[in-house]
Amino acid sequence: MILVTGGAGFIGANFVLDWLRLNDEPILNLDKLTYAGNLENLASLQGDPRHVFVQGDIGDRALVGRLLAEQRPRAIVNFAAESHVDRSIHGPEDFIQTNIVGAFHLLEEARGYWMSLSDADKAGFRFLHVSTDEVYGSLGPDDAPFTEKTPFAPNSPYSASKASSDHLVRAYHHTYGLPTLTTNCSNNYGPYQFPEKLIPLMILNATKGKPLPIYGDGMNVRDWLYVTDHCSAIRAVLDQGRPGETYNVGGWNEMPNLVIVKTLCALLDEMLPTSPLTPHASRLTFVKDRPGHDRRYAIDASKIHRELGWKPAETFETGIRKTVRWYLDNMQWVENVASGAYRKWLDTNYTTR
């Protein structure tokens, strides 16, 4: 049994689904079901005894302590986090609470539980913290990609909160000996991503004939990691990673936002040849850049390749094609997550620009 937190969110749900597709070790899934958590992502696991779902907060120490005592997991994989940079700009509080204070409480309960284990179980236990490459800050066009040794320089409340929890995780290893692992990944994309993020938002807007807003000049560069690859990287780190280490996870796909959106539009033109909205790229509109918008992230993921033999299976071309296909095939899912609250949020972010 492993405990996965945030397992109803985008990356967490993909991780849970992949995990249970690949092996029979049960998952205890703790998720608060905020706006980004969606049990519909896990609908295929209905009635599957290998999946135990609990709605709750990683910061609820009584609950977490009780769950650990009941289920006795051999590992914790912490996906639970507020993750959307724009939201962290409008309201950083939730980010501090969940990403820092919540992670601290989870670490404390994990430490207490870990201390109670037998020596053999103690040695085998892992606390894997899933983080982001945004903790490293921003790069100029010619700077070398982030390595695990790059000093932290977070620029948004979101990345600052993640950097903070990364430090706590590191401290729990060095101070208490908790066998921790940290992964810092680049931008994820793929099925089940909440349509506030670039790729699903653009697919959704394009298929509805809505404008396709691009921040600034659209030349902000990100590395793109297909979510399934991210999940396989986490499994590799969980299996073979050295306690106390951090591992960068990247897709080896640096791409400006504008190219992403144009690629999406071309794929939509191809997959929806009879759509009256073709060419989809005709609705590209440039909007004022967001504050603190990092210019470029690039990640050097050679350590995980060198030490654990992991490399992504998807290229950007194959990954983005799968993603567009998935969203077109799952429009009902998209409709269902496009709740009133979500639309209201989109309004405050984009109508004033």
Partner 1 sequence: MKTILITGGAGYIGSHACVEFLQAGYDVVVLDNLCNSSPESLRRVRELTGLDFPFVEGDIRDRALLDRLFCDHDIDAVIHFAGLKAVGESVEKPLLYYGNNIAGSVTLFDAMQAAGVKTIVFSSSATVYGDPASVPIREDFPVGGTTNPYGASKLFIERILQDVAIADSAWSIALLRYFNPVGAHRSGRIGEDPRGIPNNLMPYISQVAVGRREHLNVFGDDYPTPDGTGVRDYIHVVDLAQGHVKAVEKLAEGPGVRIWNLGAGRGYSVVEMVKAFAQASGRPVPYRFAPRRAGDIAQCWADPAKAERELGWKARFGLEDMCADTWRWQSMNPNGYERNVA
Catalytic residues: 133-134, 158
Report yes or no: 212 and 272 within 8 Å, Cβ to Cβ. Answer: no
Measured distance CA(331)–CA(276) in Å, rounded: 18
202: Cβ–Cβ under 8 A, 6 or more apart, which residues? 212, 260, 261, 264
- Per CB under 8 A, 116 contacts partner 1: no
- Per CB under 8 A, 54 contacts partner 1: yes
Q: Which stretch binds partner 1 (CB under 8 A): 48-56, 75-83, 144-152, 285-293?
A: 48-56
Identify which of residues 66 and 322 has a Cβ nearer to partner 1 in the complex: 66
What is the total count of residues that contact partner 1 (CB under 8 A)? Answer: 13
Measured distance CA(102)–CA(117) in Å, rounded: 23
Q: Which stretch binds partner 1 (CB under 8 A): 9-17, 62-70, 228-236, 264-272?
A: 62-70
Query: 46: which 2 tokens?
Result: 């209905």
- Amino acid 122 reads K
Identify which of residues 61 and 167 has a Cβ nearer to partner 1 in the complex: 61
- Per CB under 8 A, 55 contacts partner 1: yes
The CA-atom distances, in angstroms, between 179 and each of 29, 174, 228, 322 are 21, 9, 25, 36
Query: 3: which 2 tokens?
Result: 């405990």
CB of 144 vs partner 1, minimal distance in Å = 46
Report yes or no: 265 and 285 within 8 Å, Cβ to Cβ. Answer: no
- Per CB under 8 A, 56 contacts partner 1: yes
Measured distance CA(297)–CA(141) in Å, rounded: 9
Out of 13, 28, 203, 265, the residue judged to bind partner 1 by CB under 8 A: 28
- Per CB under 8 A, 39 contacts partner 1: no
CB of 19 vs partner 1, minimal distance in Å = 17
Looking at the DSSP assignment, which residues form a beta bridge with residue 129?
Answer: 78, 182
- Helix or strand run (H / E) with residue 53: strand 51-55
Q: Which stretch binds partner 1 (CB under 8 A): 59-67, 102-110, 207-215, 249-257?
A: 59-67
Q: Which stretch binds partner 1 (CB under 8 A): 51-59, 247-255, 265-273, 321-329?
A: 51-59
Q: What is the per-residue binding string for partner 1 in 63-102, x denoting contact by CB under 8 A? A: x--xx-xxxx------------------------------
Measured distance CA(129)–CA(36) in Å, rounded: 19
- Per CB under 8 A, 154 contacts partner 1: no
Q: By CB neighbour count within 10 A (0-12 exposed, 13-18 middle, 19+ buried), where does 310 fall?
A: buried
The answer to whether the bond into 26 is cis (omega within 30° of 0) is no
Report yes or no: 236 and 312 within 8 Å, Cβ to Cβ. Answer: no
- Per CB under 8 A, 37 contacts partner 1: no
Q: What is the per-residue binding string for partner 1 in 251-290, x denoting contact by CB under 8 A? A: ----------------------------------------
Measured distance CA(80)–CA(98) in Å, rounded: 8
CB of 165 vs partner 1, minimal distance in Å = 23
CB of 32 vs partner 1, minimal distance in Å = 12
Identify which of residues 57 and 300 has a Cβ nearer to partner 1 in the complex: 57
Report yes or no: 42 and 16 within 8 Å, Cβ to Cβ. Answer: yes
CB of 60 vs partner 1, minimal distance in Å = 9
Query: 221: which 2 tokens?
Result: 């560069």
Q: Which stretch binds partner 1 (CB under 8 A): 47-55, 289-297, 318-326, 328-336?
A: 47-55
Instruction: List residues near partner 1 by CB under 8 A.
Output: 28, 49, 52, 54-56, 63, 66-67, 69-72
